[in-house]
């Protein structure tokens, strides 16, 4: 397994991004962390460097919908760390409303962040990796990338189906360049995005979820459902579930 020492994580100020940053810092990796909330990033960076004095943590403010800045920030991180060995495209949005209810604004924003902005991050990372001749791109999609979903999940699922297909195509293209690509599909993990789920027996604790994500990404598979239990077997069930039943549980 290739050691990926310098790791960039977008959306790192909270939730899954923050959890992964903590796990990789504990492994002695250098981190490039970016998000919109600079104060939270700086606090996290100070905490991680104090707990793990041997690592370097650099931060930047980044709104991933500012596509030009995505490319600029990624290049700045590479210059500061000397290289980027792994990029984790994690920034995402869980907003969404049922189709036709007058909330196209929410659905458009969800699609813009989870698909278009994610594609910009993939492009920026892949360009750097092509120049380096190596790297690992991990894109945090979702379990719902399996199919279309109704209700408030419609736009969200569509964005994740789309970006997973984009990742599949990138994997085929970049493999011959020595670049590994992973489609990471988390199930329900405690985070700000999943606050509205409430009590759910399938909701993994944040620490367990972050550990499972880091472990899955380190293995660099083509695709990973995280945590593996129960989401691997549920992925089979979900593909076969009739739409009438899906509407009742979504």
Catalytically active residues are 156
Angle between helices 206-219 and 15-26 (to 10 degrees): 60
Q: What is the greatest pairwise CA distance in the chain?
A: 54
Q: Residue 145 gets which letter from DSSP?
A: G
φ/ψ of 72, rounded to 5, equals -65, -50
CB 65 within 8 A of CB 113: yes
Q: Interior CA angle at 168 toward 163 and 174, to 5°? A: 115
Q: 70: closest CA among 116, 37, 19, 38?
A: 116
**SS in 3 state form for 82-97?**
CCCCEEEECCCCCCCC
């Amino acid at each position: 397994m290739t050691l990926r020492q310098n790791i960039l994580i977008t959306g790192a100020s909270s939730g899954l991004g923050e959890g992964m940053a903590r796990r990789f810092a504990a492994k002695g990796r250098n981190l490039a962390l970016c998000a919109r909330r600079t104060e939270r990033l700086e606090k996290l960076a100070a905490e991680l460097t104090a707990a793990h004095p041997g690592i370097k943590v650099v931060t930047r403010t980044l709104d991933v919908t500012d596509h030009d800045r995505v490319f600029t920030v990624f290049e700045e991180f590479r210059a500061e760390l000397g290289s980027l060995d792994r990029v984790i495209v994690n920034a995402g949005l869980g907003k969404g409303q049922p189709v036709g209810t007058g909330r196209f604004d929410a659905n458009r924003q969800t699609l813009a962040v989870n698909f278009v902005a994610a594609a910009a991050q993939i492009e920026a990372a892949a360009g750097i990796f092509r120049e380096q001749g190596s790297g690992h791109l991990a894109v945090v999609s979702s379990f719902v990338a399996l199919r279309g979903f109704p209700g408030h999940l419609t736009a969200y699922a569509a964005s994740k189906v789309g970006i997973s297909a984009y990742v599949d195509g990138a994997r085929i293209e970049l493999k011959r360049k020595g670049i590994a690509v992973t489609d990471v599909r988390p199930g329900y993990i405690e985070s700000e995005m999943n606050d509205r789920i409430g009590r759910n027996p399938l909701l993994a604790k944040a620490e367990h979820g972050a550990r499972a994500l880091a472990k899955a990404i380190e293995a660099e598979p083509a695709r990973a459902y995280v945590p593996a239990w129960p989401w691997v077997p549920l992925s089979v069930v979900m593909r076969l579930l009739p739409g009438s039943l899906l509407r009742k549980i979504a």
